[in-house]
Amino acid sequence: MDLRPEQETGLRSAQVAGGALLLVLNNTLTAVEDGRNEILRHLGPLDPLVRNRLEVLFEELVSNTIRHGFAKHSAQSIHVQVKRTPGAVELTFEDDGVPFNLLEAQPPEPFTSIETARVGGLGIPLIVKMASALRYERPAPTSCTGFRPSNRTIISIAT
Could you list the residues that contact other proteins (CB under 8 A)?
A: 29-30, 32-33, 48-49, 51-53, 55-56, 59-60, 63, 110-115, 117-120, 122-123, 125-126, 129-130
Nearer to other proteins, 53 or 79 (CB): 53
**Shortest distance (Å) from residue 104 CB to other proteins:** 19
**Shortest distance (Å) from residue 102 CB to other proteins:** 13
Pair type for strands 151-158 and 88-95: antiparallel
- Tell me if 123 sits within 8 A of 64, measured CB to CB: yes
Nearer to other proteins, 58 or 149 (CB): 58
Nearer to other proteins, 103 or 122 (CB): 122
What is the C-alpha separation between 49 and 66, in angstroms, rounded? Answer: 26
What is the C-alpha separation between 21 and 51, in angstroms, rounded? Answer: 16
- Cα distances from 57 to residues 53, 74, 119, in angstroms, run 6, 24, 19
**Shortest distance (Å) from residue 15 CB to other proteins:** 25
